[in-house]
């Protein structure tokens, strides 16, 4: 698989769903990928990347940003409050807003810094105890809480359980977003992004299908 293959598949999925061409943003998930693989994707003109850890992104991206114009970084992984300021200065969007304490921290820092990344509220659609995110029943209340803090709510994010049909979770996320007037849906990964696009995904997060299998060695 390659970047061009994935972009073609996204275009076909948009067409099949009757959606406008280019209505799905491809977030290339570069976490733990070797620099040369990331550089190869940059050389093909792609500029939207997702990282899971603030520290890893801070070590990797400044050098790339000096060489390539227009890079946008999205934080996909869990965010500790003590890394919030660094994340807000480095990322254009945070997909993992998952608790009131973090929301309050981001709101305070936004006042200090004078800007805030686009925020996606993470919903634990499978209600899995080991997974981050607010429960579906609590999502409406949390969205309202974030809006009361003047946070720029862009949309919702989910990671479906590995052993369940993802489309059911994508449909649930879309339903929660619609009733809260949120347009952004960060959902779908390498194995299921076409099904996410069919359910209205605005951001799909694809890593190994673009870069190859990760090396955690």
Strand-pairing partners, residue 50, are: 29, 74
Q: What is the pLDDT of residue 216?
A: 60
Model confidence pLDDT, tens digit, residues 110-151? 999 999 999 999 999 999 999 999 999 999 999 999 999 999
Q: Could you state, in order of their start, the residue ranges of all structural domains in the chain? A: 3-210
Model confidence pLDDT, tens digit, residues 72-94? 999 999 999 999 999 999 999 99
Q: What is the pLDDT of residue 212?
A: 85
What pLDDT band is residue 213 in, cutting at 50, 70 and 90?
confident
Q: CATH code for 3-210?
A: 3.20.20.10
Residues present in the chain in total: 217
Q: Who's near 46: CB < 8 A, 6+ residues apart? A: 3, 26, 28
Cβ atoms within 10 Å, residue 111: 11
Mean pLDDT along residues 178-198: 97
Model confidence pLDDT, tens digit, residues 155-181? 999 999 999 999 999 999 999 999 999
Q: Who's near 161: CB < 8 A, 6+ residues apart? A: 126, 128, 169
Q: For the whole prediction, is pTM greater than 0.85?
A: yes
Range list of H helices, 45-180: 54-67, 84-90, 100-113, 136-148, 166-179
Three-state DSSP at 7 gives helix
Angle at 74 between CA 206 and CA 164, to 5 degrees: 45
């Amino acid at each position: 698989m390659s970047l061009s293959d994935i972009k073609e598949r996204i275009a076909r999925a948009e067409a099949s769903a009757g959606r406008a061409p280019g209505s799905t943003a491809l977030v290339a998930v570069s976490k733990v990928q070797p620099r040369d693989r990331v550089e190869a994707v940059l050389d093909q003109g792609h500029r939207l990347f997702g990282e899971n850890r603030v520290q890893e992104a801070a070590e990797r991206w400044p050098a790339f940003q000096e060489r390539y114009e227009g890079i946008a970084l999205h934080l996909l992984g869990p965010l500790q409050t003590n890394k919030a300021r660094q994340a807000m200065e480095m990322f254009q969007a945070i997909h993992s807003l998952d608790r009131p304490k973090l929301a309050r921290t981001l709101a305070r820092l936004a006042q200090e810094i004078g800007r805030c990344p686009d925020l996606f509220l993470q919903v634990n659609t499978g209600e899995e105890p080991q997974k981050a995110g607010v429960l579906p029943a609590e999502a409406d209340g949390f969205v309202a809480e974030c809006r009361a803090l003047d946070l720029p709510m862009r949309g919702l994010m989910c990671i479906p359980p590995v052993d369940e049909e993802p489309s059911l979770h994508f449909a649930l996320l879309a339903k929660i977003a619609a009733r809260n007037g949120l347009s952004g849906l960060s959902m779908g990964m390498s194995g299921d992004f076409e099904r996410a696009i069919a359910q209205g995904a605005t951001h799909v997060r694809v890593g190994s299908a673009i870069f190859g299998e990760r090396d955690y060695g």
